């Protein structure tokens, strides 16, 4: 088909006889043969494929490499041709020219929604997701404005991609009117869909933690959304630190700790709570002048809340509330 397409315009082949007739009339230099084979056949006075087909195959096999007969058999359909599978490009790059200069974010949302939908369709066709992409806003006579969206995990839902880009776009001050927008994505890792139970009773508008996290980062900025990681420190006030959400943190090996640690301990305000566990003695910090000597307990208040409380070692004073358990 490729050989005939290079030699004819609008040719239709309906059966094998017509195929053989059209191929036989082709010059040898139009068959896709190697230059060495075409020159060797020309020296024998052969100019067209029909002349080669009239020769005995055994004689051709003796005089020429096996490549010649194999190529002819593939042209005539007698031998299968192994074609390479089409591989879609590994990057997405789509540009939309606007009909007029745009000076507001609101007017950019329509082309942005279309670009997001096209990106989602492209990713679905490749069974991949996107983890980083850039929206280019083109101006006349100056460098493009760029909105870069980085995700902590691969995503390919059109609505989510649109919302994340929209959140960051609204934070950008346009330096000049925009005459074209372009969406570029180069990091396209494999996509693992979020698993949901068959009889999931949560509403369809339920937003998973990963999607909520990305929306918050898009709206508030990357540094506004932080996680917590444990620190090798016995004193509860110093046993944690914030960290960026883009790094996975392994939990530290420690005792039972509350999910909410108060900024400053305060009196419990309840005389006789039910003690569930403890005491756990924590003594540390003598080397820096901020040493503590406390006995910690897990207690349950009259209202059913579970609290982490302590009393200074050797003291008969009140219990101090330091944290709450979920």
CB 22 within 8 A of CB 11: yes
CB 254 within 8 A of CB 239: yes
pLDDT tens for the chain, 326 residues: list them: 566 655 666 655 666 676 677 777 677 777 777 788 878 888 888 787 778 778 788 887 888 888 888 777 777 777 776 667 767 668 899 999 998 999 989 999 999 999 999 999 999 988 888 888 999 999 998 999 999 888 777 888 898 899 889 888 988 899 999 999 999 998 888 887 665 555 555 444 445 556 666 666 666 666 667 677 777 777 787 776 666 655 555 555 556 788 788 888 888 877 778 888 878 888 887 787 778 888 889 998 888 888 888 888 888 888 888 888 87
Q: Domain extents for the chain?
A: 2-75, 92-187, 254-324
Q: Output the six-digit token pair for 132.
A: 């980083």
Which pLDDT value is given to residue 15? 65
Which DSSP letter does residue 273 get?
P
User: CA–CA separation, 321 vs 325, rounded Å?
Assistant: 12
pTM score, whole prediction: 0.47
Which residue in 282, 285, 283, 284 sits closest to 297, CA to CA?
282
CB 156 within 8 A of CB 129: yes
User: CA–CA separation, 132 vs 127, rounded Å?
Assistant: 16
Which residue has 């980062």 as its token pair? Answer: 217
Q: Output the six-digit token pair for 169.
A: 């776009």
- Could you give the strand order of the β-sheet that contains 292-300, starting from the edge strand earlier in sequence? 260-267, 320-324, 306-312, 292-300, 274-284
* Number of alpha carbons in the 13 Å side-chain half-sphere of residue 145: 20
User: CA–CA separation, 5 vs 23, rounded Å?
Assistant: 11
From the candidate CATH numbers 3.30.1490.100, 3.50.50.60, 1.20.1250.20, 3.40.1280.10, the one assigned to the domain spanning 92-187: 3.30.1490.100
């Amino acid at each position: 088909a490729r050989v005939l397409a290079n030699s004819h315009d609008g040719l239709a082949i309906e059966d094998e006889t017509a195929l053989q007739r059209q191929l036989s009339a082709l010059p040898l230099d139009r068959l896709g043969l190697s230059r060495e084979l075409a020159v060797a056949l020309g020296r024998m006075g052969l100019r067209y494929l029909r002349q080669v087909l009239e020769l005995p195959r055994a004689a051709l096999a003796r005089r020429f490499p096996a490549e010649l007969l194999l190529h002819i058999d593939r042209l005539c359909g007698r031998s299968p041709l192994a074609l390479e599978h089409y591989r879609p490009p590994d990057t997405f790059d789509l540009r939309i020219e606007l009909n007029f200069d745009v000076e507001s974010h609101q007017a950019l949302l329509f082309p942005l929604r279309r670009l997001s939908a096209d990106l989602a369709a492209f990713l679905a066709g490749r069974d991949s997701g996107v983890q980083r992409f850039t929206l280019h806003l083109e101006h006349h006579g100056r460098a493009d404005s760029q909105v870069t969206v980085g995700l902590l995990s691969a995503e390919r839902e059109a609505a989510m991609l649109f919302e994340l880009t929209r959140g960051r776009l609204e934070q950008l001050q346009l330096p000049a009117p925009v005459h074209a927008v372009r969406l570029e994505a180069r990091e396209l890792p494999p996509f693992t869909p979020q698993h949901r139970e068959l009889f999931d009773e949560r509403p369809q508008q339920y937003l998973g933690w990963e999607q909520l996290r990305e929306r918050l980062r898009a709206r508030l900025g990357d540094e506004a959304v932080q996680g917590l990681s444990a620190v090798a420190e016995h004193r509860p006030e110093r046993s944690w630190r914030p960290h960026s959400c883009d790094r996975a943190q392994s939990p530290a090996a420690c005792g039972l700790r509350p999910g909410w640690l108060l900024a400053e301990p305060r009196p419990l305000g309840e005389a006789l709570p039910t003690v569930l566990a403890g005491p756990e003695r924590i003594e540390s910090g003598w080397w820096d002048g901020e040493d503590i000597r406390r006995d910690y307990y897990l207690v349950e208040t009259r209202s059913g809340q579970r609290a982490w409380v302590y009393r200074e070692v050797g003291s008969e004073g009140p219990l101090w509330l330091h944290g709450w358990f979920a």
